[in-house]
């Protein structure tokens, strides 16, 4: 099963992708996580990506598409995967489609998690991410057992630089201009499934499972 997660930054794509990954035993491929790992490791790609990410902009397609296509060509992706944060532009979606077509493959589901912009700003301000394993929490909705400490690995939790309110506003603008058109793109292909992401996360997940199959 090949799945794409769509939705605004902070809509809950990563949260749902992790649950889908566990239930259906599919790798969770997040381009944001790949960029953050590169930043942490001080790679050339990380240095280039950081400037765009901190400004709330998209990393250019030239730096993103090959990275993603390479990742999904790995052995663990041969039975499918969940793409979280890719594609984010129509050209990215077209490149993905071309690469899949060449192998006689296609995306099975594009899962759109819908949350209005007003809710997003609140959610992002409360999001905390583990500096080490990337697990995410929310100070109110999904608090860690011990404040500021990751339940899974014991490392510190931080507010991501790009989750600060002024950057979130920019990211939302970028989302509406460049990423939202993907909803129509995948709608036209007949694989779009829309979900109300303002519900509790377990309810959103239950709705998704109804569509993907138990
Ligand atoms: P995305 O991957 O789309 O950027 P996340 O999955 O990281 O979004 O979720 C953003 C924030 O909102 C996180 O702090 C997360 O814990 C919280 N969150 C996710 N889903 C829900 C939900 N259904 N209700 C309330 N908070 C949520
Ligand atoms: P995310 O973790 O998905 O919220 O992504 C964090 C940031 O990484 C985004 O705001 C972009 O700057 C960058 N990024 C992640 N995925 C992509 C992508 N597919 N195309 C361009 N930039 C991306």
- Residues 198, 192 contacting (CB under 8 angstroms): no
Q: How buried is 147 (Cβ within 10 angstroms: 0-12 exposed, 13-18 middle, 19+ buried)?
A: exposed
Structure tokens at 110: 């594009």
Q: How far is the CA of 142 from the centre of ligand 1 (A)?
A: 9
How far apart, in Å, are the Cα atoms of 188 and each of 9, 172, 193?
23, 24, 12
Among protein residues, the one with the nearest Cα to ligand 1's atom 2 is 14
In this prediction, residue 122 carries a pLDDT of 84
CA distance 182 to 167: 22
In this prediction, residue 65 carries a pLDDT of 97
Q: How far is the CA of 92 from the centre of ligand 2 (A)?
A: 12
Q: In the chain, what percentage of residues exceed pLDDT 90?
A: 93
- Cβ–ligand 1 distance for 123 under 6 Å, the answer yes
The model carries a pTM of 0.96
CA distance 87 to 82: 11
In this prediction, residue 61 carries a pLDDT of 96
Q: Concatenated DSSP letters for 155-177?
A: -BEE--GGGSHHHHHHHHHHIII
Q: How far is the CA of 32 from the centre of ligand 1 (A)?
A: 15
Q: Quick one: how far is CA 117 from the chain centroid?
A: 17
The DSSP bridge pattern shows strands 127-130 and 81-84 to be: unpaired
In this prediction, residue 55 carries a pLDDT of 94
Structure tokens at 101: 């077509």
* Ligand (nearest to CA of 62): 2
The DSSP bridge pattern shows strands 28-30 and 127-130 to be: unpaired
Those residues with Cβ within 8 angstroms of residue 39's Cβ, 6 or more apart along the chain or in another chain: 46, 47, 49, 50, 53
- Return per-residue pLDDT of the chain as tens, 214 residues: 999 999 999 999 999 999 999 999 999 999 999 999 999 999 999 999 999 999 999 999 999 999 999 999 999 999 999 999 999 999 999 999 999 999 999 999 999 999 999 999 888 989 999 999 889 999 999 999 999 999 999 999 999 889 988 899 999 999 999 999 999 999 999 999 999 999 999 999 999 999 999 8
Structure tokens at 136: 């995410």
In this prediction, residue 18 carries a pLDDT of 96
Structure tokens at 57: 């902009």
pLDDT tens sequence across 82-127 = 999 999 999 999 999 999 999 999 999 999 999 999 999 888 989 9
């Amino acid at each position: 099963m090949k799945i794409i997660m769509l939705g605004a930054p902070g809509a809950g794509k990563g949260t749902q992708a992790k649950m889908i990954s566990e239930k259906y035993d599919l790798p969770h491929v997040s381009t944001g996580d790949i960029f953050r790992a590169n930043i942490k490791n001080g790679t050339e790609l990380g240095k280039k990506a950081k400037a765009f990410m901190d400004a709330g902009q998209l990393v250019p397609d030239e730096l993103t598409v090959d990275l993603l296509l390479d990742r999904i060509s790995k052995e663990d992706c041969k039975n499918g995967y969940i793409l979280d944060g890719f594609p984010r532009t129509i050209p990215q979606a077209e490149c993905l489609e071309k690469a899949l077509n060449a192998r006689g493959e296609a995306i099975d589901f594009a899962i759109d998690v819908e949350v209005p912009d007003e809710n997003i700003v609140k959610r992002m301000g409360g999001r905390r991410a583990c500096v080490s394993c990337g697990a995410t929490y929310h100070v109110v909705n999904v608090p860690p057992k011990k404040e500021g400490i990751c339940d899974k690995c014991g490392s510190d939790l931080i507010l991501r630089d790009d989750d600060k309110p002024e950057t979130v506003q920019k990211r939302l603008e970028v989302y509406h201009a460049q990423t939202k058109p993907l909803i129509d793109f995948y709608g036209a292909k007949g694989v779009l499934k829309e979900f109300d992401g303002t519900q509790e996360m377990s309810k959103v997940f239950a709705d998704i499972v109804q569509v993907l199959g138990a």
